[in-house]
Amino acid sequence: MMCESARLGPKGSLPLLLLALGFCTVQCCGACGSGPSATKAELGAAQVEQARKFRRAPPELPRGVPLRANGHKELASRLLGTLQELRSRGRGARFRPPMEDEAQGYRDWTLRALEAASESRVSPRLPSGFSRFDLPDSPIMVVSESGDSLRGAGALALREGAAAPVVVEAPHTFYDRGTLEIAVALFAALEARALLINTVHRYRGNGLASMGGPRGSASDPVADVAHTPRSFFAAAHEATARARPALLAVQVHGYRDQRVPGFDAVLSAAGSSLDPEHFAHCMEHYLTGARVGVYPRDLRDLGGTRNRQAQSSVQFGAPFLHVELSARLRARLRQPGPGQSAFAAAFFSVSEGSCRP
């Protein structure tokens, strides 16, 4: 088997990020395609050592990030149109969580689909109630619920063939305005493996919340896929955390400018092994004038520690980056242009070690 980083070539520098954080970027950690597989204990020791090295001093490399801006923007535009159409179908729907067996089936399918995508094999048969759309002239397929009785199952975009071991997530695309456009652009620019979005407003629940609040209100959080105990979104995320290689999850959120005065963004590892300080420094480096806080170093809010996907990543030892963006910064990043390129450049720069605190 060819190493994923080798398949990616020069434009696929982001897998170095996972290596730096102590996570393998190939199916077999260690010697790819030859020799015996490493034991679990050996892998754990290697991950810890690599993470320590990254935190001490990432390698110093030349600044400047090669982004194929035109190609990425065109793909992002087409994918965005597809996802917006899917979301428009769900505007009148109310979220209904899957049964346990449905969630497990979707998780297992996503895990097999990730393996098939990384090996350029035919994707497994879809679970009942889901359909697939292949984005023309691209390696992207979009999976979403089918039929007329929609229940907010979300949408999964999966890149087949070579891809960076990253899943970009936007669980509040209706409520946190601009996060859909930002997540899609980042997925395209990083050539990430997967993209997860919600398709029903976080407060469009079915009135079954344990808190007993009025149906569809902020006290009825069952439709919030970042926090509700069971959802297809959470099942797909768990698959990305359980995959080998585990995917780095970058989950994009938004907040009101007044909530955290003085900061344009807040980054948190949300309890995972990732070190967010390098991301924060690179974001400030490329997003001119932006001030990026790190939880809990700079503030005690917006850490995402109760986030369902963060907890899943921690459970399976996968890296997780909780990204909170102010309304002002989201307005800057949601439109195609220098802002989106600079945002993606920050991630590339962390992987290349070209900026550091």
- For 73-104, how does the pLDDT look when each residue is reduced to its tens digit (9 = 90+)? 999 999 999 999 998 887 778 889 999 999 99
Residues of the chain below pLDDT 50: 1-67, 207-220
Class of domain 69-352: alpha beta
Residues of the chain with CATH 3.40.630: 69-352
Q: Kindly state the tokens that stand for 71.
A: 């190609």
H-assigned helices in 165-307: 179-190, 232-242, 277-286
Which region holds residue 317: left if phi is over 0, alpha if psi is between -120 and 50, else beta? left
pTM: 0.80
Distance CA 287, CA 305 (A): 26
Name the CA dihedral angle for 120, 125, 129, 131, rounded to a multiple of 10 degrees: 40
CB-CB contact of 132 with 117 (8 Å): no
- CA distances for 14 relative to 76, 87, 164, angstroms: 18, 29, 6
**142 - beta bridge partners?**
133, 157
Distance CA 13, CA 189 (A): 12
Confidence (pLDDT) at 20: 40
CB-CB contact of 200 with 90 (8 Å): yes
Confidence (pLDDT) at 22: 37
Distance CA 108, CA 245 (A): 16
**325 - beta bridge partners?**
254, 265
CB-CB contact of 319 with 249 (8 Å): yes
Confidence (pLDDT) at 16: 44
What's the pLDDT tens digit per position in 213-243?
334 444 446 789 999 989 999 999 999 999 9
**Pairing mode of beta strands 248-255, 192-197:** unpaired
Distance CA 14, CA 56 (A): 19
Distance CA 269, CA 260 (A): 18
- CA distances for 108 relative to 101, 104, 165, 246, angstroms: 10, 6, 18, 15
